[in-house]
Amino acid sequence: MTQKASLGKVLVTGGAGFIGSALSQLIADRSEGWVVMDSLHPQVHPGGKRPADLHEKAELIVGDVVNPEDWDRVLEHGPFDLVVHLAAETGTAQSLAEASRHSRVNVVGTTEMLDAFTRAGQIPARIVLAGSRAVYGEGRWNRESDGTDFYPGMRTHAQLAASQWDFPGAAPVAARADLNIPTPTSIYGATKLAQENLLTAWAGSHDTTVNILRLQNVYGPGQSLINSYTGIVSLFSQWSEIGKQIPVYEDGVITRDFVYIDDVATAFEAVIDSDPAVTNGQVYDVGNGVGTTIFQIAEIIAEYHGAPAPTVNGAFRDGDVRHAWADISRTTEVLGWEPAWDVRRGVAALQEWIAGQDERVV
């Protein structure tokens, strides 16, 4: 096997989290130094402890991306060749009620990072951003009458209250970064799109390579079991584990693309190892490439535990999109990456991991 090149010195913001810890286990050994900046937020890290899954080589610096002083402390450990920007508030529903918090961390936190690089005179060779499928909003739909694509925009509260789940006479289209116009329908999605624009603008003026991975719904061992905003797979798993019937919103046909954590980590490795001349400034979709309804994922989890079958309750969340899954063909073609885990296998692995954990949100 050909030995992969050294990554140089690496900085990972939010690097003590779910994705950061998994990535550290995969490639930290290839770095000349793996520095993690993380606030150890209690919503994710109870007790402010260093996560056991974080690679032993990682130097953890507790700091908040919105504080210039914390950035100055972190950059004393630089300069950095590679920056992986994971730090973000991630709750789609939570962002509607805590818009300022999401904007401070996701938008101002990113600008504080860029300002800190400027103050320190440190220009990283490459920045990789963990983007989000939330930037697509409802995305593209196709008219059944004439086959043309259009962007229907946000489903209003009135539509949802009237149980008008879909857009009549139209079918959803899988998201693809080079074909879709981003139209976020949540505060969270809007802040993630702002991150993309800020990094691209700054990097273009500093000859820094920037890559963006728009992640679909990431799940798997290592995700927070106490943060109800980090994904329904974890929440559904904990409900089924205790024999509770899973309630499914709308009519059960909300669609998501569930991508296993190991596949996300290998996607980051693939873009980090990619040729800057080919991938600079590019955005890639990272998902399983398959749409799974919320009812289907609930069924798989309930079956694993022998729990009651899920029930559709007709409830809804404002700002939620109806269908979201990715066309990953371009990512596979350019980066040579493809997911290895299907949903049923990944769900089983997650249940096995959860069984050995003490903390729960339910």
Q: Which residues are designated catalytic? A: 188
- Decide: residue 339, CB within 10 A, 0-12 exposed, 13-18 middle, 19+ buried: buried
CA geometry: angle 309, 310, 312, nearest 5 deg: 140
Q: Which residue has the tokens 């220009």?
A: 123
Residue 47 token pair: 């007790």
Sign of CA dihedral 191, 196, 202, 205: negative
Residue 323 token pair: 């269908």
- Decide: residue 61, CB within 10 A, 0-12 exposed, 13-18 middle, 19+ buried: middle
Spatial neighbors of 111 by CB under 8 A, at least 6 apart, are: 198
Q: What span, in angstroms and rounded, lies between the C-alpha atoms of 211 and 280? A: 6
Strand partners for 169: none
